[in-house]
Amino acid sequence: MATDVVVPTLGESITEATLGQWLKQPGDPVKADEPIASLETDKVAVEVNAPIAGTLGEQLVAEGDNVEVGALIARIEAGDAAAPKPDAGKAGKAETAVNPAGPGETPALKEDAAAPKAKDDAQALSPAVRRAVIETGVDPASLKGSGKDGRLTKDDVLAAAKGGTPAPAKPAPPAEKAAPATGERHEERVRMTRLRQTIASRLKEAQNTAALLTTFNDVDMTAVMDARGRYKDLFEKKHGIRLGFMGFFVKAVALAARDVPSVNAFIEGDEIVYHDYLDVSVAVSAPNGLVVPVIRNADAMSFAEIEKTIADFGKRAKDGTLKIDEMKGGTFTISNGGVFGSLLSTPIINPPQSAVLGMHRIEERPVVVDGQIVIRPMMYLALSYDHRLVDGREAVTFLVRVKEAIEDPTRLLIDL
């Protein structure tokens, strides 16, 4: 008896997804709750799990097709998920028929039979792992997965690319194949993922709707770097997480937003919605694009809670396991382009939010302090905001409050 596999509920307001990849092929044995397909939504990749153990039957949807919640995409034949063992007598006849090797000859049947399985294993990759394989050129068939049920993870691929697990040498091309002509040019067309389409649409929406403006300032990171250097070992020993810079900036934003509440507000129709809480969207790089998981009630969290939450978001973004609900909402965004080497940028707000703070790389520069030219670790800060709601004076005030809190972290403790 066959059991239907349908598209699961994907979250509030999400009614459609794109079938990104089949993780199992027709005839493959599957276990109950084992992922058999990957769906791409507007925000994250979601795996479809097998409702029962059995054998995957007909696939009713092709990769790249759009599917609605509740749509039938495949069927699973009930039964033992383990592959049936062939009868010894039948196996011998099959070998004779497929590979009639004589005495002393080496049969190639085992190699022929193993080829489809290796192909299937290579196909059963999550979107994050598949992208890592493409970027590094590592052969996934040569790796042993450390994930659930022996599946490959992105860390497995990256470790192999760094020399942890050497990939087998590729066979040399046939001698008769002519080398490509010098100067030959190629083009490749790749369909945009649903996530990338959504990112493009929302960014363009922000430009078309909001009156965007950016104001800049720079901040001396000496005090924060000294505090971090002094306490990072004790902090990690006590809390089990490294002390980073994001905790300081989240705390500084929470402090500044109390003085300038408009940067933490929305425009809805002809009304302004103010929030007495701060939900910070943290821009995180994922294999398929930028995602913004939300730190809920960040204004009430400790440094350790903030750092643990951010570290968890970063790891799961790379693995493609962030949940849709974790990226909903958010009243303010922080984007750290400095981790990629950015010196200066004008970030775009994340609608319906009204402001985004851009952090950049720390660079030693000569500055004047008390009439003396000294070298200090400096960072440029950029605040992009919706000028319909946030006035220039308020934007500058907010950025100055953040600067003051970073340059004198004691303010974060005594609420100044």
C-beta neighbour count of 351 within 10 angstroms = 15
Please tell me whether residues 76 and 117 are part of one structural domain. Answer: no
Distance of CA 114 to the CA centre of its chain: 34
The answer on 397 and 310 residing in a single domain is: yes
Q: Does residue 386 carry a pLDDT above 90?
A: yes
387 and 294 in one domain?
A: yes
pLDDT, residue 307, reads 93
Catalytic residue, candidates 120, 155, 218, 391? 391
- Given 80, 387, 408, 415, which residue is catalytic? 387
Catalytic annotation present for 360? no
Q: Which residue has the higher pLDDT, 416 or 408?
A: 408
Burial call 386-405: b when 16+ CB within 10 Å, e when fewer: beebbeeebbeebbbbbbeb
17 plus 147 within the same structural domain: no
The two structure tokens encoding residue 271: 């009304």
Percent of the chain with pLDDT over 70: 80
Cα separation of 280 and 318, whole Å? 20
Among this protein's residues, is 387 annotated catalytic?
yes
CATH of the domain at 37: 2.40.50.100
So what's the pLDDT on residue 413?
80
Query: What pTM was computed for the model?
Result: 0.62
pLDDT exceeds cutoff 70 at 176: no
When pLDDT is cut at 50, 70 and 90, the band that residue 120 belongs to is very low
30-59: average pLDDT: 82
Tens-place pLDDT, residues 290-337: 788 999 999 999 999 999 999 998 888 888 788 878 888 899 999 998
Say whether both 358 and 283 belong to one domain: yes
Mark residue 223 as left, alpha or beta (left: phi above 0; alpha: psi -120 to 50; beta: remaining): alpha
d(C-alpha 394, C-alpha 245), whole Å:
24
pLDDT digit string (tens) for 193-235? 777 777 788 888 888 888 999 999 999 999 999 999 999 999 9
Q: 191: pLDDT confidence band, cut at 50, 70 and 90? A: confident
Residue 398, pLDDT score: 97
**Both 283 and 382 in a single domain?**
yes
221 with 127, same domain: the answer is: no
Do residue 8 and residue 137 come from a single domain? no
Note whether residue 175 is domain-resident.
no
At 223, is the secondary structure helix, strand, or coil? Answer: helix
Residue 346 three-state SS: coil
What tokens appear for 5 in the block? 């596999």
Q: Do 225 and 340 share a domain, yes or no?
A: yes
Alpha helices (H) in 350-408, listed in sequence order: 392-407
Domain count, the chain: 3
Instruction: List the helix and strand counts (H, then E) for the chain.
Output: 10, 19
For residue 365, what pLDDT is reported?
95
Instruction: Tell me how crowded residue 192 is: count the other CB atoms within 10 A of its CB.
Output: 13
84 and 122 co-located in one domain: no
The overall average pLDDT reported for the chain is 80
| Host domain of residue 69 | 1-89
So what's the pLDDT on residue 304? 93
194 CB-side CA count, 13 A: 23
